[in-house]
Amino acid sequence: MSTPSEPSAIVGERRHLTNLAYRLLGSLSEAEDAVQETYSRWYAMSQHRQEAVESPGAWLTTVAGRICLDMLGSARARRERYVGAWVPEPLPDRTEWAGGRTGGGGADPADRVTLDESVNMAFLVVLESMTPAERVAFILHDVFRYPFADIAEIVGRTPAACRQLASSARRRIRAAQVPAVPSAAQAGLVRHFKAAWEAKDIEALVDLLDPHARMTADGGGLVGTVLRPVEGSKRIAEYLAHIADKAPGLTLLERTVNGRPGLVAQHMGVTVTVAAFSLTGGRITHIWAVRNPEKLRPWTENEQG
């Protein structure tokens, strides 16, 4: 943890490093670990060596990038042993995007959601398909605008090779066809979805879902959930109605999830699921339902049991 005696140039990098590490790792807890390790290495150096660093911010970014690159390599092996589907850890934001007490001149909060496509769930899922080197080169260059010469130092390859890595990553993004949907449009559709789910209206749910929609749930083997994606609008609708029957006290809250309108499900006041959505052509094409309690800690840490 930082202290008042730390140079402001060092302390001020923490937010940037966390933003970078989350995009590289898809996990807020792992990102915080990477940033902590980065600072540990900085403070392990003598004061003389610290003073010899021309740009502390660049040094911290380089070290954080290398740490994340190593973590991505080991994460692949861990995820192969993961129970069920692995979904990136949802980024917490308790902002309500649906009407009510917001005090903002009466505008729908959905219109004020800050979009950052590099953290939405669909984008993070595509990043998971990349090699660690592709992901690091792409995020550092296309999202954070680092030159390939600097990226080469992190990845341990030539600038030309890093350029090729980023280009390959872009092709993966284009192939996945992850379209940007206006936040207000997503909010309206998710709001209707919430109402249909609460009413256990299977027909209404089917109408809101793309016929080839997919729902991926992540329980990590720690809570009960489907281990394979649920395919098709009717099967998803029936499954959601079944869940509503099994948990009659379930409360659905409209919350911002990874920068986009999503839903949080609470049971007896405790968050049990965080759902992110992907839309195409005015219908929901994918639902990511994160139920692994270890991934929900940032969402539950201030809740009363």
pLDDT in tens, 163-181: 999 999 999 998 887 666 7
pLDDT in tens, 207-217: 999 999 999 99
Q: Output the pLDDT for position 271.
A: 94
Specify if 106 maps to a domain: no
Query: Angle, to 10 degrees, between the axis of helix 28-44 and the axis of helix 14-25?
Result: 130
The reply to whether 37 and 146 lie within a common domain is no
Specify if 120 maps to a domain: yes
205: CATH: 3.10.450.50
The reply to whether 214 and 294 lie within a common domain is yes
The reply to whether 172 and 188 lie within a common domain is no
The reply to whether 46 and 144 lie within a common domain is no
The reply to whether 222 and 294 lie within a common domain is yes
The answer to whether 137 touches 68, Cβ cutoff 8 Å, is: no
Sequence-distant (6+) residues with CB within 8 A of 293 are: 222, 223, 300
The reply to whether 238 and 212 lie within a common domain is yes
User: Containing domain of residue 127, as a range?
Assistant: 116-176
Specify if 88 maps to a domain: no
pTM for this entry: 0.85
Specify if 89 maps to a domain: no
The reply to whether 236 and 271 lie within a common domain is yes
Specify if 296 maps to a domain: yes
Choose among 277, 268, 278, 276: nearest CA to 300. Answer: 268
Strands 283-290 and 209-218, by their bridges, are parallel
The reply to whether 245 and 288 lie within a common domain is yes
Specify if 109 maps to a domain: no
Buried b (16+ CB within 10 A) or exposed e, 78-103: eeeeeebbbbbbbbbbeeebbeeeee
pLDDT in tens, 179-226: 667 778 889 999 999 999 999 999 999 999 999 999 999 999 999 899
pLDDT in tens, 58-74: 999 999 999 999 999 88
Specify if 104 maps to a domain: no
147: CATH: 1.10.10
Residue in the structure block whose two tokens are 């559709």: 189
The reply to whether 204 and 296 lie within a common domain is yes
The reply to whether 162 and 236 lie within a common domain is no
Choose among 181, 178, 182, 187: nearest CA to 256. Answer: 187
The reply to whether 241 and 149 lie within a common domain is no
Structural domains in the chain (count): 3
The answer to whether 68 touches 25, Cβ cutoff 8 Å, is: yes
Which residue, of 151, 176, 201, is where some domain finishes? 176
Specify if 292 maps to a domain: yes
The reply to whether 148 and 196 lie within a common domain is no
